Amino acid sequence: MAVHLAAPMRRPTPSQAPPSASPASLVPGTPLPAGRARARPGDWASALLVVALCTGVSELMLPYFDLADQIMVYLAGVVFIALHYGLAPSLAAVAASVLVFDLMFVPPRWSLNPLNKQHLFTFAVMLVVGTLISRLAAQARAQALLAQARAERAQVLNLLARQLVVARSHEEIAAGLAAAVHSVLARNCALLLPDQTGRLTDAAGFFQDRGLAEWGAAQAAFARDGAAAGEAAANAQQGLYLPLKGTGSTLGVLAIAATQRQLRPEDTDLLNAFADLAALALERSAFEHKSADALVEAERERLRSTLLSGISHDFRTPLTTIVGSATVLLDQDRQLDAGRRSLLAHSILKEARRMHALVSDLLDLTRMEEGGVRPSYEWCPADELLETARLAVEPLTGAHQLRVRTSADAIVWCDPRLIEQALVNLLDNAVRHTPAGTVIEACIAVHESTWDLVVADNGPGLPPGHEQDVFKKFYRGRSQQAGTGTGLGLAICAAVARVHGGTITARNDRGARFVLTLPQPVLAPAEVLE
């Protein structure tokens, strides 16, 4: 399956990045430190300032200490300079310290011509010791800077790994890569993915100003099926193109724009690690999409099987009855008396109405699940809703005792047509699943911002552990005989609750108890009177 281009060049928002991984040194556009090759002008000035401070301290020590003790002050200054400013400023500080010490403190003062040859040896020792200390301090500083750079690069790599673990789309993967590459090298990058034909696309316009040579290098890196980074960039004049190799094939190319700064070996290694992480994230994303598609297909097949198994018997039985009764009427019309013909006609009518009810329930449920039904809200007297539903199911109640209860002045905010349909389904369900002679009660209770429609019976109740399964399509209880119901009534009740923004629950409470809870706006007293 072909994938689309995803190469955003923006930095991810703070909500996309873990809050614990945002050091100041990782701000995009600021390269990670890796030691200085050259001293800055400010370093030389700082070194001279330190030598001047050492000279002032030595001047204060002159009446109380020997010259050998004063030399230690300059050596301390040289160590400080080497630790903070590098080798070259520290060597300059050694030379300046020797000259200043000879000029200001070695007799005769203010002269570069000492009378005592011992001072010449002191100068030589000071120069050698200062040089050695400078080199050791500079090496220690370089190692510290290198360790800091490695730690910060590892932190960038860890941050990218954490972002890619939670990335669910190619856009999120590209955003994480863009932020990581920009923080390390201050370069833009793009995630190039193949189209349906297997060739890279440049929908983000990364190669708009880069020419055909670099575009060819990117295509070549992708076609090499996992070439090394150096080989992938061999034909590129400026940019770097890293193939993203998956388990079986190359998934894309990480294109990195060029800048004036040359890549070091450690930069290339880090970029290769970025590419490996991106390849893993792309492969995981592809597997997740395939798994999601497989789950959708399995659910579609399950629903298809449920639909076929649920309605096959419900359609076959009435159709068989209709066909048989119609055949008897046609073949034996003259041999049948009026009573038999009427019985067969009523049988045809009954089964046709049953099929009509099944089709109507299916259509209503489908429309509500797909959002095709929007409630027409109005204020309805609660007692009228209950009475209308009671009259609708009265022919089915038989020996059941049906009771309705609510306040005389209770009004509810709803679509009366949908609520009556749900209430009739709940009462019909209670009649079907309770023995004759049991009591079925329906009541409406109005609260401050909600109202409840409750249908309860004192029958055998719901199967333990299946209290919520009863709202699934084509679910039938254990006591219900095959062909006596569509298995859609309670599913329609749940759909009515959803379109009203409410909920429906079922539990066992000395029988089955269904509670439909719907929201209701709060009325002022004047509105109630109106």
> pLDDT of 359-370, one tens digit each?
776 777 777 767
Query: What's the mean per-residue pLDDT of the chain?
Result: 76
Nearest to 274 by CA among 363, 163, 194, 354: 163
pLDDT at 519: 92
pLDDT at 314: 62
Compute the average pLDDT of residues 145-170: 82
* Percent of the chain predicted with pLDDT > 90: 7
pLDDT at 230: 42
The backbone torsions φ and ψ at residue 519, rounded to the nearest 5 degrees and listed phi first, read -75, 155
* Confidence bin at 260 (pLDDT 50/70/90): low
Dihedral, 108, 113, 118, 124 alpha carbons, nearest 10: 130
Q: Are 415 and 375 in contact (CB under 8 A)?
A: yes
Instruction: Considering only residues 257 and 508, tell me which one the structure prediction assigns the higher pLDDT.
Output: 508
Compute the average pLDDT of residues 349-356: 80
User: Which helix H or strand E contains 372, and what residues bound it?
Assistant: none
- Judged against a pLDDT cut of 80, whether residue 52 lies above it is answered with yes
Residues 11-25: pLDDT tens digits? 333 333 333 333 333
- According to CATH, the superfamily of the domain at 169-289 is GAF domain (3.30.450.40)
- Judged against a pLDDT cut of 90, whether residue 518 lies above it is answered with yes
C-alpha neighbours within 13 Å on the C-beta side of residue 72: 6
* Percent of the chain predicted with pLDDT > 70: 78
In order, the DSSP letters of 59-113 are: HHHTTTS-HHHHHHHHHHHHHHHHHHH-HHHHHHHHHHHHHHHHHHTSSSTT-S-
pLDDT at 478: 53
Topology at the third CATH level for domain 378-529: Heat Shock Protein 90 (3.30.565)
Residues 162-209: pLDDT tens digits? 888 888 778 888 888 888 888 777 777 777 778 777 777 766 667 666
- Judged against a pLDDT cut of 70, whether residue 29 lies above it is answered with no
Interstrand relation of 503-508 and 512-519 (parallel, antiparallel or unpaired) = antiparallel
pLDDT at 462: 87
pLDDT at 503: 92
Provide the residue ranges of all domains of the chain, joining segments of one domain with +.
Answer: 41-150, 169-289, 306-369, 378-529
Which region among 246-260, 301-315, 358-372 has the lowest average model confidence (pLDDT)? 301-315
Compute the average pLDDT of residues 235-244: 66
What are the helix and strand counts (H, E) for the chain? 13, 10
